[in-house]
Amino acid sequence: MPENDGVQDEIDFYSPRGHLAKRLSDVIGARWPAEVRAIGVHGSLAHGDDHDGSDVNLIVLTYRAGAGPRPALRKVDGILVDLRVTTAEEGLRQARELTPRWPLEAERFVTARPLHDPRGLLAEHRDAHLSRLAEARPPEFSGLARHDWEIAAAAHARAVRLAEYYDTDAALVLMAEARVHAALVAGLLSRTYFRNQADAVKRTGLAGADVQELGKILDAQAEDLTARGRPVDGTLAALFE
């Protein structure tokens, strides 16, 4: 179960990222006062360790679809802003949904901090997400992990083949994909969420794994998933079970 370790109760509005987040919140609230229900941040600002090069991850919850600002990913005053906009109801649905990318998606529910949230919707979404995790049974997580394992294994196999043909650049790209999805497998099986892809491969010890080492890790994960009730490879009939 994820914990709230390392998340700040207060946002540092004196940092350039914090100051920009506050400005964005003020502008959005003033421009769409009847549409916006809550505004919050997650990521480095919520953790209190933002630095030069950090993003501003902003969440906007609205009353209805298509209202409020448009979602955006762009730099503002030299700082990358990732602006997500969704209705409060859709945000709650997403908070209750578990997907193969859960280890990378949970952070925005668990660590979100309000800039404007008079009804406590961000806390409601966090509680809904944690409740969903508490209800989920191990087979649900192992099923999601198998999905990520298949992607990791396929990327690793292609990387091996490309390396044999000395296409090093393409092999490195696929190795990076394989490491991330192998990290997602580890996160799902241990119910551990990560702040981003770099954090995922670092915390799972996959950041420096070469082709052979990653292959051994994938083999070990395949054995683990098989022991949890269903192999990662099987017959045609098993595909439709």
User: What pLDDT is recorded for position 8?
Assistant: 53
Q: Which two tokens stand for residue 122?
A: 């961000």
SS3 53: coil
The residue ranges of DSSP E strands in the chain, in sequence order, are 36-42, 56-62, 72-76, 79-87, 113-116
Q: Which two tokens stand for residue 191?
A: 């119910």
Higher pLDDT, 145 or 48: 145
The single-letter code of the amino acid at 106 is A
pLDDT tens digits for 19-69? 999 999 999 999 999 999 999 999 999 998 988 989 999 999 999 999 999
**Contact between residue 104 and residue 194 where contact means Cβ atoms under 8 Å apart:** yes
User: What pLDDT is recorded for position 9?
Assistant: 60
- Whether 188 shows a pLDDT value over 80: the answer reads yes
**pTM score:** 0.90
- Whether 4 shows a pLDDT value over 60: the answer reads no
Which CATH class name applies to 16-135? alpha beta
